[in-house]
Amino acid sequence: MEVATQEQAHQKPARVLVVDDDQDVRALLSSFLGCEGYEVITAMDGEEALNQVHSEHPDLILLDLQMEGMGGLQTMEKLKETRSQAPVVLLTGHPEFLAPRQATCLDISGLVGKPFRGMELLSTISRALAEKGR
């Protein structure tokens, strides 16, 4: 048991890209996830998110579905073109608008409604990273 703990201690924290057009949400998620041991980078829109994916290589993308400019669905399409291996967890104030079949087609790793519960968000992120082998 001690060996696993030492290995975990030497593993660098997972890098999470938080994409949301609301500055307060980005700040809240950055603070919350940072306190949980994640390395957090942010983007205010889809274009900036794509740039961050190229330059920062996040382990997971936490993506708002409804944003000004390039929305979450458009960003998802562009992310497919980048061949990023980072799992995507969608954040939305209207989870009922995304049908389960549509979620499967988008190849998302999770869906979290806003306002989110901390434990639900952490569980979804943890599960998505585990599926990636991180």
What is the average pLDDT score of the chain?
Answer: 84
Percent of the chain predicted with pLDDT > 70: 82
* Residue 21 reports pLDDT greater than 80: yes
Give, in words, the CATH class of 13-132. alpha beta
Domain ranges for the chain, please list them.
13-132
Q: pLDDT for 34-75, tens place per residue?
A: 999 999 999 999 999 999 999 999 999 999 988 888 888 888
Is pTM beyond 0.75 here?
A: yes
Let me know if 75 is exposed, middle or buried by CB neighbors in 10 A (0-12, 13-18, 19+): buried
Question: Which of these, 80, 13, 15, lies nearest to 46 by C-alpha position?
Answer: 80
Of the listed ranges 56-65, 70-79, 81-90, 103-112, the least confidently predicted one is 103-112
* Residue 104 reports pLDDT greater than 70: no
The two three-digit tokens of residue 76, written as one number: 């998802």
The two three-digit tokens of residue 82, written as one number: 């980048």
Cβ(37)–Cβ(16) below 8 Å:
no
Q: Give alpha helix (H) positions in 1-134.
A: 2-10, 23-35, 46-56, 72-82, 100-106, 118-132
